[in-house]
Amino acid sequence: MVEYKKFLKKCFKLAEKGKGLVSPNPLVGAIIAKGERIIGEGYHKAFGLPHAEIEALNKAKNKAKGATLYVNLEPCCHWGKTPPCTEAIIKSGIKEVIACIKDPNPLVNGNGFKMLEENGIKVRHGFFEEEAEEFNRFYITNITKKRPYIILKWAQTIDGKIATYTGSSKWITTEKAREYLKRKRFEFDGILVGINTILVDNPFLDYIADEFQTKKDIIKRKRYYKIILDAKGKTPLESNIWKNEKAKVLIVFDEKIGEEEIEKYKVKPNFDYIKVYYENGKFDLKVLLEKLLIEKNIGIIMVEGGKYTLTEFFENKLFDEIWAFIGNKILGGENSISVFGGENKIDIGKEAMEIEKITIERIENDLLIKGRFFRID
C-alpha cells in the first residue's frame, strides 16, 4: 500500500517555500505520483503565479493520467488571479486526489472536491487536519475574520520598558536579534507603525531576503508595504522609510484630509495611501484592516509600535499573536515607557489574557517569546 502520509508531509515542505510571497493566498504544495514514484511536484510560488497543482501537472505532463494527486488544501474551483485548478486536474486524467483539509473560502469549501467526484475522480481528505489548519492559519484568518492576520511585536527590557522617558529605544536588543527580525519581516505583507515611531526613530523597516528566494529570482514578486498611521500627513519626505523604492509606503490618512496634503507625497514613486474614518485621535481599526485586505491584498501584518499603536490594537482585541523580544537590560524609572497604555481595569486573576502555544527562543543574551490568543474576538 502506498504510504500517503509521507507524500502529504512533503507537500507541507514544498508549500513552505512560498512563505512571504503567496499571501493572501494559502501555502500549498502538490505531488503527483504513481505508486511510490513521483512524476511531478510543485508549490504556489508567489501571488498571481500558477497554483501548486498546476505546477505539478506541468511537470508530470501526459504521465499524470491514472496518477494520484496529493495536496495539503482542497483544489480551487473558481476563477481568481488564475484559472480553477479543478478543470486542469479533470483534463489531466488524474484518477485520485488525497488532501488534508477543505478550503474555508466560501467560493470553494467542498465544491472543489465535489466537482472532482462528479467527474469520476476518487477524493479522500481529512488527513493531518490540525497541522494543515495551523500551517495556513494566516489564510484561514483572512477568510473567516475578513481581516489580515495580526502579530503585535515589541522589544522590551527585563523590567518591561520599551523606551526611556524621552522616547529613545535604541537599542534594547542585540544586533543579532535585530537581524533575526529583519529576516522574519520577509514573511509579512506589511509592517505597521504609528507616526510617532517615524518621527522619533526614523526607521527603515526593511527586510532581509533569505538566500533561497534570492537564488530563485522570485524575490521580484515580493509585495511589501510599510504602513504608517498618519492622520494629518506628518511623515517627512526625507524619512528613511522612503529609501527602499521596492517597498510601498502606504500612509493611512484621516478621511477628511485635504487633497493638497496628499499631493506632496506623489513625488515618491513608492507612495500609496488609503483614507479611514478618524475621530478623537483614533482610526477605526476594523475598517482599516478590512480595506488593507480587500483593497491591497495584505494578508499578514506585523504591528511594530509604538506604545499608542500597540495599545489600540490590544484594547480592540485586533491581533492573533505576540512576539516579545526581551533584551538583557534593566532600565527602571517610573517615567520610562511601558509596552501598553490605556486604563488598567483588569482583574489579573479573571480577565488578564493568557498566552497559548508559547515558544521561547534565545538569541545571544536576548529572549523572544511568541504566543497566541485564541479567546479574543
The residues assigned a catalytic role are 53
Residue 310 parent element (H or E): helix 307-315
- Cβ atoms 171, 210 nearer than 8 A: no
User: Can you read off the three cell numbers belonging to residue 336?
Assistant: 520610562
How many angstroms from the chain centroid is the CA of residue 94? 33
Residue appearing with cell numbers 494578508 = 299
Question: Residue 248: which residues within 8 A CB-CB, separation 6 or more?
Answer: 223, 224, 225, 226, 270, 271, 272
Would you state the torsion angle of the CA atoms of residues 87, 33, 66, 94, taken in this order, to the nearest 10 degrees? -10
**Residue 282 half-sphere exposure toward CB, CA atoms < 13 A:** 13
Evaluated on CA atoms 220, 221, 222, 223, the torsion sign reads: positive
- 86 backbone dihedrals φ, ψ, rounded to 5°: -60, -40
Residue positions counted in the chain: 377
Question: Residue 76: which residues within 8 A CB-CB, separation 6 or more?
Answer: 51, 84, 85, 86, 103, 105, 107, 108, 112
How far apart (Å, rounded) are the C-alpha atoms in residues 242 and 182?
17
Instruction: Count CB neighbours of 72 within 10 A.
Output: 28
> DSSP states of 132-165 as a string?
HHHHTHHHHHHHHHSS-EEEEEEEE-TTSEEE-T
Give the angle 84-46-17 at the CA atoms, nearest 5°.
Answer: 110
How far apart (Å, rounded) are the C-alpha atoms in residues 272 and 251?
6
- Please name every residue paired with 43 in a beta bridge, in sequence order, or none if there are none: 29
